[in-house]
Structure 1
């Protein structure tokens, strides 16, 4: 019974890593499709005191970095610290981002889908660690 449990746990971890990898690769493709929207946002940001693209880039770098670690390693160093860091990386807790996101409801659908997928990847990694 114990061996069956360990095998299932190992199979689940492998499946989770494969799914994290698939979502990470999808994000690369999705990001490439946001070029026009990113350009429009960059022009709009010239008149703002904050950077929507900047906050997206910070979250992208952190989350994709953790995803790469999860994919490449069988065990993560400091998994609890990583989970805590990911718990704190809540893009929708950034007030100016949230205001922008909801005030432009029909604008920038590809960027918004990208951010939603990025947030989903963050949650997947937390689940994988737990």
Structure 2
């Protein structure tokens, strides 16, 4: 019985940890200044406030980029997320997102991309939005 309880508690702790791990992205994207800075103020994180959400871009350790869209209002839309780096744009597949939802897509970069300028992009049938450029 003690072993089953320990396994259950361990599983709950792992589940709670994964929720806590994903929460900072959403909270960081929840604030976007008029100059495109997130709450952290780090230049490797940039954002754009849209009429129905926030588009957020972050470089991690030079080899990974995350583009996040937190939709705060309006109807469900079909969009795709991506990033522009070195003159080329890479997109995810299209997906649907509704009010109150947050979607994060990641992309892999070569190690030479660290501290290089890039923008996060959101594309939909009516056009494209982008974040200011990240930098060091």
Superposition TM-score, scaled by structure 2 size: 0.29
Higher relative contact order (CA 8 A, sep 6+): 1
Structure with the bigger percentage of helix: 1
Structure with the bigger percentage of strand: 2
